[in-house]
Structures are given as structure tokens and as C-alpha cells.
Amino acid sequence: MASVETTRPETNVAIGPGLQQFRKNRLGMLGAALVTLITAIAIFAPLMIMHDPVRIMVGPRLADPSLHYLLGTDQLGRDTFSRIIMGSRIPLLVAFVSLGSSLAVGLVLGLIAGFGPRWLDNLLVLFFDTIRSFPGIIFALAMVALLGPSLASVILVIAITSMPIYARVVRTQTEALRSSEYVAAERSMGAGTTRILAVHVLPNVIGPLLILVSMDVPAVIAVEAGLSFLGMGVRPPTPDWGAILNDGFNYIDKAPWLVIAGGIPIVLATLGFTFLGEALREIFDPKLRKDL
């Protein structure tokens, strides 16, 4: 029995046992598989398509699914399958870049607010709340008016509006940890602020944050689709799930597969990221492990 333990590498924040537990979590594994699959599709999309996704009239308009057009064609005669595959790139790019940057900024600002001096905390909280108090749509419209409709403005809008939420969560958690006895104990051993933040605060904060982020990914995909629909995101003919779904709604009676084909990837991505988020919670919280 002892040998099992000694071969385990010494990790400071021991999430090793958490990973083992994760393997036993079926939904988590499913989520991870879905997320990997969708990410892989997005990365290798150009290798997988059968037709040029933006060329008009590669086939007849609104053709039924067939061997040649796996998911039929749309009102402009474009191949839906190729558009779905290529269409995965934009939403994922937007989600990763926007949420990634807002995660990074939110984490740093939240840690500073929670661990720094009181006046800085008050200042930062005021800043977060100011951003949050803008109505999202108006803010988005203002950004688009300022920067013009483009992918960059979509990313910026999402990053800026979600950052204060993350920063708030980090700040609240950090604040609670700051007065905890174990942070005091670490200080008494001579640990500096950087070490305390990295080894003792971050692992407590990053878990809830990653869960939050992975649950936000589906929302971002939807927002991106909505903005595209309003003509404020990607412009046609760039393939994009949201755009395909919206196109499909106009022809739902003649070609129902368009809606289905556009909707299913969004549903799968949503489920995948949600399951993954739930499972991450267990990795980061040893108290939720069963080991039975």
C-alpha cells in the first residue's frame, strides 16, 4: 500500500488525487470530451470541410441533406456542413479570447482589491460597480459606434462587461482568506505576500472562477450569435453558428434542418462546458472528494 503513495509526485497544490477523482466523474468526462472535440474541430476545421463555406451557389438553394451536402444547403446555396465546421471558429475564438483576458484582468484586480490596502479596495470596487452599472446593450452599442462593427469590438465588449463579475468573486474570496488563521500561520513562518497569494489564495480562488468561466462560455457563444444577428459582430458571409441559426429561422418551414444543424453545436458546447465546470469544482476542492 505504501508504494502507491510514494510514487506520487510531490505537488504543492495537490490536485493529483482530484484528477483521479475526475476520471470517475462520468458527466465531467463527457464534458471534457465534448469540449476537446469542439476545440479540435475549430482548430482543424479547414481540413474537414467539403466545400468552400462562403461560396454562393455551390449547390441548389435549400437542398435537402444528401451525401454530397451532408446537412443540405442554405438559402444562398452554401453548404451547411462546411459552414457549421468553419463556424465553430469564431464563437470559440471570441469566447476564449474575451473570457481569457477578462479572467486574467479580473483575477489580478480582484486579488489586489482583496489583499491590498483598504483605500485601493474601495477604489477598485467603485470601478467594478461603475462598469457593471452600464446596461450591457447600450455599452455594446456605444463600443460598436466607437470602434465600428468588428470581431474585435465584440471581444472587447464581452471582456469588459464580464471582468468586474470575476474580479468581484475573486475579491470576496480573497477578503475572507486574508483574515484566516492559516494565512496568519504562513506569515508567522516568514512567507511573503507573493507566496501566500500564489500557494494559498490562488488555489482557493481559481476553482470557483474557472467554474464561473466555463459556465459563461455558452452565454458568450449566444451573445456573439446575437450580436452577429444584429449586424454588430461578424459580417456575412463569414460562417458563424449564431448566423446560421438566425438564417435558419427564416426558412424553418422549408428547411428545418438548418435550425437543427445550427442549434445542435450550440447545445453541445453549452452542455460540454457546463459539465466540465461542475467537474472542475471537485478537482479544486478536496472536501468534495469521495475516495470510496
**Footprint on residues 175-214 left by another protein (CB under 8 A):** 175-176, 179-182, 184-193, 195, 199-200, 203-204
Q: Does 172 help bind another protein (rule: CB under 8 A)?
A: yes
Q: Does 126 help bind another protein (rule: CB under 8 A)?
A: no
Smallest distance, another protein to C-beta of residue 125, A: 14
**Footprint on residues 250-289 left by another protein (CB under 8 A):** 284, 286-289
| Alpha carbons 85 and 239: distance in angstroms, whole number | 9
Quick one: cell of 141? 452599442
**Footprint on residues 209-248 left by another protein (CB under 8 A):** none
Q: Which stretch binds another protein (CB under 8 A): 3-11, 36-44, 55-63, 160-168?
A: 3-11
Q: Does 119 help bind another protein (rule: CB under 8 A)?
A: no
Smallest distance, another protein to C-beta of residue 194, A: 11
Within 8 A by CB and 6+ apart from 9, the residues are 16
For another protein, the closer of residues 138 and 292 by Cβ is 292
| Alpha carbons 267 and 275: distance in angstroms, whole number | 12
Binding residues for another protein, total number by CB under 8 A = 43
Is the bond leading into 237 cis (omega within 30 degrees of zero)? yes
Quick one: cell of 238? 463569414
Residue span 9-28 as binding mask against another protein, x where in contact by CB under 8 A, dash where not: -xxxxx--x--x--------
- What is the full DSSP assignment across 208-248? HHHHHHHHHHHHHHHHHHHHHHTTSSSPTTS--HHHHHHHH
Measured from the Cβ of residue 235, the count of other Cβ atoms closer than 10 Å reads 13
Smallest distance, another protein to C-beta of residue 187, A: 6
Q: Quick one: which of 75, 175, 70, 73 has its CA closest to 120?
A: 175
Helix (H, G, I), strand (E, B), or coil: what is residue 264? helix
| Alpha carbons 9 and 17: distance in angstroms, whole number | 11
Q: Residue 131 carries which side chain, given as an amino acid letter?
A: I
Smallest distance, another protein to C-beta of residue 204, A: 6
DSSP single-letter state for residue 71: T
For another protein, the closer of residues 11 and 133 by Cβ is 11
For another protein, the closer of residues 67 and 287 by Cβ is 287
Which residues contact another protein (rule: CB under 8 A)?
A: 1-2, 4-6, 8, 10-14, 17, 20, 172, 175-176, 179-182, 184-193, 195, 199-200, 203-204, 284, 286-292
